[in-house]
Structure 1
Amino acid sequence: MRVDLVALVVDDYDPAIEFFVDVLGFDLVEDSPSLTNDGRPKRWVVVRPPGAETGILLARADGERQAMVVGNQVADRVGFFLRVDDFDAAYRRMVAAGVEFVTAPRTESYGRVAVFLDIAGNRWDLLGPV
C-alpha cells in the first residue's frame, strides 16, 4: 500500500506546470484530456519529483468553493514537504528562479529547513540534511 497522488488545487494548469517543472525541477508525468464527473472537459496533470513514487495531481479549481482554497489548502500551515540532498544548492537555485521564501534557512534537529510558497501560495518546507 502507498500514497500514489496528492491533489493540489491551482488556478490554472499551465502556470502550475511551469512552476513545478521549470522552477522546482519536477517531472511532468502526465498531461491528458479528461472529464469532470458531470462530463465537462478538464486535464489530468501529474507532476512528481525525479525518482519519487508519490506525485501531485494539479487540479484546476472548478467552481467558487474550490477557488476559495487555492493557496490555502491547509489553513495557512506548512502542508507540503520537499526533501533534497543538497539543501544549499536547491535553496540558491530556487531563489534565483524567483521562489518566495517566507523564512530564512535554519538548522533544526531534523535538518536544514526553509519555508517557501508555491505558485498558488501554499506553504512548503524545503528540507535537507545538516
Structure 2
Amino acid sequence: MKQSIANIAILVPDYDEAIAYYRDILGFSLSEDTDLGAGKRWVRVTPPKGETSLLLARASNEEQHAAIGQQAGGRVFLFLHSDDFWRDYHAYQARGVNFAEAPREEAYATVVVFTDLYGNRWDLLQPACPKRSV
C-alpha cells in the first residue's frame, strides 16, 4: 500500500494575500483556485516540483483567526526541503523573507528558520548527503 499526504491546511486571513505571498515571495505555484460559493475557495499552492500542497484555508471565526500563524504552538510547523540551500536562502533574502536566525550546519542538513507572512515558523533545509557504508 502506498499513501502520501496531499495537502496541509494552513489558516490565512485572505486568499489573495496568501496566494501572492506564497507565489511571489516563496516561489510556489498556484495549483488550484476553485470557487466553492458563499465566499469560500479551494486554493492550493505547491513548492517547485513538490508533491504536497498547502491548502490555504481562510479563517472564518474568532478561534480560527486567533490560530493564524500559531498552528504549531510557536514551534517550526513546516519543513521546506531544497536541492540548493544557498540559492533559495539568497533568493528569499532578496525578497524580504524574515529569518529568525543565521543559517547553520547540522548533522542532518544545512538549515535556517524563517517565518512566513503570518508568523508560521518554517525550516528551509537541504538534507545532508547520506553517509555511504564501505
Give the TM-score taking structure 1 as reference length: 0.93
1:57 and 1:119 mapped to 2: Cα distance? 15
Q: Report the equivalent of 1:111.
A: 109
Give the conservation status (yes or no) of the 8 Å contact 1:84–1:127: yes
Structure 1: gaps (5+ residues): none
Question: In structure 1, what is the Cα distance between the partners aligned to 2:56 and 2:117?
Answer: 11
> What does residue 26 of structure 2 align with?
24
Deviation at 1:96, TM superposition (A): 0.7
Kept in 2, the 8 Å contact 1:15–1:119? The answer is: no
Secondary structure of 1:85's partner? coil
| TM-score in terms of structure 2 length | 0.90
Q: Which runs of 4+ in 1 moved over 3 A?
A: none
The secondary structure found in structure 2 opposite 1:20 is helix
Show the counterpart of 1:65.
63
Give the number of aligned pairs: 126
Letter in 1 for 2:10: L
Distance across 2 between alignment mates of 1:54 and 1:121: 21
State the AA in 2 paired with 1:127: L
Q: Which residue of 2 aligns with 1:92?
A: 90
1:86/1:129 contact within 8 Å kept = no
Q: What is the deviation of 1:129?
A: 4.2
1:13 aligns with 2:11: no
Q: Look up the SS of the partner of 2:98 in the other structure.
A: coil
Give a deviation string over 1:90-120, Cα, whole Å, max 9, x none: 1111011010000110000011000000111
CA drift of 1:47 comes to 0.4
Matched, 1:42 2:40: yes
Deviation digits for residues 61-95 of structure 1 (CA, Å, limit 9, x no counterpart): 11101000001110000010001111111111101
- Unaligned runs of at least 5 residues, structure 2: 129-134
Identity %: 48
